[in-house]
Amino acid sequence: METTAYIILSVCAAATPLLLAALGELVVERSGVLNLGVEGMMIVGAVVAFGTAQVTGNAYLGLLAAVFAGAAFSLLFAFLTLTLATNQVATGLALTILGLGVSGIIGEDFVGQPGVKLTSISIPYLSEIPMVGPLLFAQNPLVYLSWALVAGVAWFLFRSRAGLTLRSVGDNHVSAHVLGIPVIRVRYLAVLFGGGCAGAGGAYLSLVYVSQWTEGMTAGRGWIALALVVFASWRPLRVLAGAYLFGAVTIAQFHAQALGIPIPAQFLTSLPYIATIVVLVLIASNRRLTMVNTPASLGKPFVPDR
């Protein structure tokens, strides 16, 4: 019983940074912008969170700083791709490379230092419910935040007027512009939100997951988050499911080895990407499904004619 709970908790720990970053990217892509810089924004978030928490001694300040750092870093991407209309793929890749480099420099002195841990919060009474209690109600604040974000993003996208506007910009930016919707401003806000979420995902790694700083500690999670958005066919609830599935796969890598199950680790590592390809093929074979969920102007630069 204890092992099961332990495994579920560790799946949750592996899933949360993916979930945070992917939800942010989902909003970005729904507005029609493809930001491949998730990995870069995450690692900047991770190092800023670690540094701020260590200097101030307050993990929450670390988290806040990470959100701002991620958003500030994405602002660079937004300026290049939205104001200067550069190629989104190339700019996103550059952002990832830049983020990995910059975080290495900032974090040079933090390597090997003990960090400040963002501790879990047990909700009184609820967390004492047998079985479910510790799993649902004695979690890290960032886990609660990620769950709340799923509901928030789902509500925002499909229930609110602002979300409708955002989806319209992602579907057809020319039409949106003609109707007087401020396409570029909507996309700026979406990119900043995505940056903040990626920063929070990075903060989870350096404040909770390992609570120390090592160079390149995101270890490709930004890329998994990107794949996750496609895997979830741009739907928030499926991002939740996908994040836990991909998290479980990560955990399975450790346990399969320990238990001597003969599955090559490389296979498990590649599983999220294989799953994403399968999903891409599945949705591509259904025109209607693609039409409803895939932002049609994804990755296309928009220059208003004035």
- Residues of the shown chain interacting with other proteins in the complex, contacts defined by CB under 8 A: 161, 164-165, 167-168, 171-172, 174-176, 178-181, 287-288, 291-296, 306
Task: Please list, in sequence order, all residues whose beta carbon lies within 8 angstroms of the beta carbon of residue 212, skipping any fewer than 6 positions away.
Answer: 50, 112, 113, 114, 115, 206
Task: Please list, in sequence order, all residues whose beta carbon lies within 8 angstroms of the beta carbon of residue 256, skipping any fewer than 6 positions away.
Answer: 263, 265, 268
Return d(Cα 65, Cα 55) in angstroms, integer: 12
Q: Which is nearer to other proteins, 154 or 197 (CB)?
A: 154
Running DSSP on this structure, what letter comes out for residue 45? H
Q: Which is nearer to other proteins, 139 or 297 (CB)?
A: 297
Q: Which is nearer to other proteins, 123 or 292 (CB)?
A: 292
Least gap, CB of 32 to other proteins (angstroms) = 11
Instruction: Enter the tokens of residue 303.
Output: 């220059």
Least gap, CB of 58 to other proteins (angstroms) = 39
Rama region for 139: left / alpha / beta (φ>0; ψ in -120 to 50; rest): beta
Least gap, CB of 62 to other proteins (angstroms) = 37
Q: Which is nearer to other proteins, 112 or 180 (CB)?
A: 180
Least gap, CB of 229 to other proteins (angstroms) = 16
Torsion of CA 132, 135, 138, 140, to 10 degrees: -160
Q: Which is nearer to other proteins, 130 or 306 (CB)?
A: 306
Length of the chain: 306
Q: Which is nearer to other proteins, 114 or 180 (CB)?
A: 180
* Burial bucket for residue 290 (CB in 10 Å: 0-12, 13-18, 19+): middle
Least gap, CB of 159 to other proteins (angstroms) = 9
Instruction: Enter the tokens of residue 77.
Output: 């991407």
Least gap, CB of 38 to other proteins (angstroms) = 24
